[in-house]
Amino acid sequence: MKTIEHWIDGSPAPGADPSRTAPVFNPATGAEQARVLLAGAADVDAAVTAADRAFESWSESSLTRRTQVMFAFRQLLVEHEEELGRIISAEHGKTVDDARGEIVRGREVVEFACGLGDVLKGSFSDQVSRGVDVHDFRRPLGVVAGITPFNFPAMVPLWMHPIAIATGNTFVLKPSERDPSAANFVAELYQKAGLPDGVFNVVHGGKDAVDAILTHPGIQAVSFVGSTPVAKYVHEQATAHGKRVQALGGAKNHAVVLPDADLEFAAGHITAGAYGSAGERCMALSVAVAVGPAADGLVDVLRRKAREVKVGPGDAPGTDMGPLVTKAAQERVENAVGTAAAQGAAVVVDGRGLKIDGHENGFFTGPSLLDHVTTEMDAYKEELFGPVLAVVRVDTLDDAIALINANPYGNGTALFTASGEAARRFQRDVKVGMIGINVPVPVPMSYYSFGGWKDSLIGDSPVHGPDGIRFYTRPKVVTSRWPQTEQQVAAGFTFPTSH
């Protein structure tokens, strides 16, 4: 049985206690395929020590040197996209094409990091007072850390470490223990790209590793993506220990369909947004809000398209949706469908009990479509994180906006319409951080920042883009005078003013 080790100071590390491991499953077969080490405080400390040692020279390296590494790393991600995609698929369960898609979206952040020379330019003000100039620049924080979820083992970490490293920080990543191999593969690519040892480190593990990161005095900032309860815990603990925190939480994303929408177009995109990655993504569409007379026609098309989704192993050609990541996730999702039926929802398409020939022990469940869901039902209130789409019916666009605004989450939303007036009203009035107009999954490009509102973002620090630059650096403002020897400026005891 293969053991997946930590990556510390440029090489695999067996850890302080090699006996502490957890299983890594192949979700398509249900079989254990590896063991992963579980880090404790000593392993986190070893990674931080290596990162701190590397920070002194890396932070003083030229911007040209840092961007050269990023350009090389970006090229290696292109060359190894297929291999990395298959590694992700084998441990997460998503299709290889879907895994390659997340690598591409993560690579966009690397490309943004390649262009930091322009973004990091400071400002200069000449002669703010006689003989006095002011300029500013930004400096890295030091050792920073990322704690990332299972659903995007490549993309979500890539939202963090390229910007952190390109701005001169060193990084400790704690990926999900459910699909840990992608992180080690990325570490090897960084090394091939010329990144010095210790700049990027990986420690695997569960809550013990998380707590060690949140409390370690050598870590200056923590980035987190996961569920809202854990995001609140991370924010509370890390800020209490003097750290900056990015903490992105859960979601309940609504897609509103107006009567003037092209129902075939809308239903096709909602189906992909709901069932892609088996619904295991924070930007998944989990609620379709059908407005007025759009409802019956929309449900008819959604029913047909849900039944057309091809479910199977992630590495099988033509597969649209793979298994869920664990047996527990499969049981939770299927129980949620049963609960919805008991609470009065109509189960239009039932994905429970799906068996795939040759993979009978895999963690598969098919797409489920629920109609006549109300806001009091668990299927609406809970983030199911699985291939379940709930249809809620309302009378007007204003009702749809009020419904979304009353929800505790505010990550992403979408509107399908042919009306520019409706689209403008929707995007201005809805209390959500990322909005799509006829776009089902509005994940912004890397040069914008990613982050929701309300319980989807704890604190006020989104990831990547301009906010990522600000998060991983701190400003210095320099006021300087170079007096002429023959025109000395007298010192004064009053508070200085410009003149």
Q: Torsion over CA of 65, 70, 71 and 73, rounded to 10 degrees?
A: 130
Pairing of strands 457-458, 473-481: unpaired
**CA 147/CA 401 separation, integer angstroms:** 33
The set of residues, in sequence order, having a beta carbon less than 8 Å from that of 187 and lying 6+ positions away, is 7, 200, 201, 202
> What six digits make up the tokens of 161?
């470490």
In a 3-state reduction of DSSP, which class is residue 79? helix
Quick one: which H or E segment has residue 476? strand 473-481
Question: What is the 8-class DSSP label of residue 292?
Answer: T
Residue 109: half-sphere exposure toward Cβ, Cα within 13 Å: 28
Residue 361: CB atoms within 10 A of its CB come to 13
Length of the chain: 499
**CA 128/CA 130 separation, integer angstroms:** 7
**CA 367/CA 389 separation, integer angstroms:** 8
The set of residues, in sequence order, having a beta carbon less than 8 Å from that of 191 and lying 6+ positions away, is 10, 197
Which residue in 116, 282, 284, 329 is the catalytic one? 282
Phi, psi of 496 (to 5 degrees): -70, 140
**CA 158/CA 150 separation, integer angstroms:** 13
**CA 148/CA 467 separation, integer angstroms:** 18
Burial 74-108 (b: 16+ CB within 10 A, else e): bebbeebbeebbebbbbbbbbbbebbbbbbebbbb
Quick one: which H or E segment has residue 21? strand 21-26
Name the H helices within 294-450.
Answer: 294-308, 327-342, 378-381, 397-406, 420-429
**CA 261/CA 290 separation, integer angstroms:** 11
> What six digits make up the tokens of 390?
């709930």
**CA 27/CA 375 separation, integer angstroms:** 32
Amino acid of residue 382: E
Amino acid of residue 439: V
Residue 114 falls in the annotated catalytic set: no
Among 392, 303, 378, smallest CA distance to 342 is for: 378
Residue 382: half-sphere exposure toward Cβ, Cα within 13 Å: 14
Q: Which residues are catalytic?
A: 282
